[in-house]
Structure 1
């Protein structure tokens, strides 16, 4: 169990949400084109149903967000999941696999970035999660809401912490880290 857990700010969430929105709208357009140009009735029906369901789930998530309600994580991923299933149902496997990978990456980008610090190691919330031993570090400092990790190989990582973890005693954290670095 980590002695200190610090939640880092994820500044790229808006960018990831915009990319996901673009991917969903692009796929809705592709499903509409597929519905109009396909000669197979089953493919036409599935493509139209997927386009409508994706658009409705996207609109529902947008509407809830505009009303200030917390959007459930499953509703956030629902359009991407519907699109993935739609591509698989019409037999376009490469598109289904690509959408499944994008859904996984989107879900990974939305997670909370939580740094764990204890006597044995520092757990950095990268993807995949990185374990940093104390003997790899020159210094680790938390000052004025900014966490700085200085590696012995001259690499430096800096991240802002979010306000909810601001109740952390910076002096106690810095003293603990200094003790581990001895």
Structure 2
């Protein structure tokens, strides 16, 4: 994902947290299915039992959609984070405030965790996608380059960032032009 003009580059890097989040989400949804079914089974017929049944049905449907999304790579617009937040609200309505709060919090964290991680290279510096986002001015960077599909950023304080780019992105980004763009900020007189 590179801009057409060589004054700005956006490079998507692998999101290592996303894989862990998918596994934990899978477990959280399963726990919600079991929890709502257990809650429903142990309540006499009442409004709370009906709400627990609704939570169980939503959990089972969400679990099915989520499994299909993971394995078939379809329905990418389906956001499990929204469903997890709804389940958190249901737990709060049922009187389980702490569980509801934790499930709600997990759903909110999912929005941050699942977003694309993009490093932006601009005339001002490098915008690194951390929380909160950091902007490293070019004066703080020793060098930045892409070689053989590996993005390397070395800071003057000896911090090193390396990311393996996806094959599709490696083909899309012109390594020579990107490296020249970065080099122009380190040694402007040489370019």
TM-score (norm 2): 0.84
Q: Which residue of 1 aligns with 2:107?
A: 103
Matches within 5 A, 1:71-110: 71-74=76-79, 76-110=80-114
Per the alignment, residue 3 of structure 1 pairs with: 8
- How far residue 30 of structure 1 moved from its aligned partner, in angstroms, is 1.7
RMSD between superposed Cα atoms in Å: 2.2
Distance 1:78 1:120, change over 3 A: closer
Unpaired runs of at least 5, structure 2 = none
- 1:47 — aligned with what? 52
Where does structure 1 differ by over 6 angstroms across 4 or more consecutive aligned residues? none
- Look up the SS of the partner of 2:136 in the other structure: strand
Distance in structure 2 (CA, Å) of the matches to 1:111 and 1:119: 24
Alpha-carbon distance between aligned partners in 2 of 1:139 and 1:20, rounded to the nearest angstrom: 38
Contact 1:32 1:51 in 2 (8 A): yes
State the distance in 2 between where 1:159 and 1:127 align. Answer: 18
Map 1:92-131 onto structure 2 (within 5 A). 92-131=96-135
Aligned-partner SS, 2:47: helix
2:185 maps to which residue? 180
Q: Distance in 2 between matches of 1:129 and 1:38?
A: 47
Deviation at 1:64, TM superposition (A): 5.0
In 2 relative to 1, CA 70–37 (structure 1 residues): closer, same or farther, beyond 3 Å?
Answer: closer
- Per the normalisation by structure 1, the TM-score is 0.87
